[in-house]
Amino acid sequence: MSPVHFAFSSTFILGLTGLTLHRYHLLSALLCLEGMMLSLFIALSLWTLQLDSTSFSASPMLLLAFSACEASAGLALLVATARTHGSDRLQNLNLLQC
């Protein structure tokens, strides 16, 4: 595997690890999510250049736009959590577990 591919793959996996194994703050999960988005942006850009498929050169921009929306949605959730639960401690958020 070429070093660049290795770099963004490992970034993605590390971000995913951080998202999965977070403990205290919801914000750290959101940050990891942003990191994953960033690595995906780099991946898309790289693949467009490597595979010489110029029709895909707009995809990183689209991803960035959507990631911004998603980040704002996440932040809105964070604010909502802080309003209803008083903090963003993750122990309060086990909604699906009875």
* Interacting residues toward other proteins by CB under 8 A: 1, 9, 13, 16-17, 19-21, 94, 96-98
- Cα separations (Å) of 17 from 35, 37, 55, 76, 86? 11, 14, 32, 23, 27
CB of residue 19 to other proteins, shortest distance in Å: 6
Q: In what helix (H) or strand (E) does residue 63 lie, and over which residues does it extend?
A: helix 59-85
Q: Which is nearer to other proteins, 57 or 92 (CB)?
A: 92
Q: Which is nearer to other proteins, 18 or 45 (CB)?
A: 18
Alpha carbons 4 and 43: distance in angstroms, whole number: 9
CB of residue 13 to other proteins, shortest distance in Å: 6
CB of residue 40 to other proteins, shortest distance in Å: 13
